[in-house]
Amino acid sequence: MENDLVLIFSSNKLYEIEIAKSLLLGNDIESYIVNKQDSMYFFGDIELYVNINEILRAKIIILKLNEIK
């Protein structure tokens, strides 16, 4: 993973990560999923990263997502 990527959101639920990724993509923000969950027991987090140049826009979108939940 490149140094210009920063963690923007993490969850243990894949559907939450996919929703966040979709919202970011709809706002022309490319994001990257890193799945750190154990493949057998499904504990751990799934992380969503964005380019450091997009962090402010991405955080605003993610905050709105958290308000909906």
Domain spans of the chain, in order of start: 5-68
- What architecture (CATH level 2) is domain 5-68? 2-Layer Sandwich (3.30)
Instruction: Decide: 16 and 49 in contact? Cβ < 8 Å.
Output: no
- Residue 67 neighbours by CB under 8 Å, 6+ apart: none
Which tokens is 43 given? 């504990």
In the block, residue with structure tokens 């140094």: 3
Instruction: Decide: 34 and 49 in contact? Cβ < 8 Å.
Output: yes
Which tens digit of pLDDT belongs to each residue from 9-67? 999 999 999 999 999 999 999 999 999 988 777 789 999 999 999 999 999 999 987 77
- This prediction's pTM: 0.84
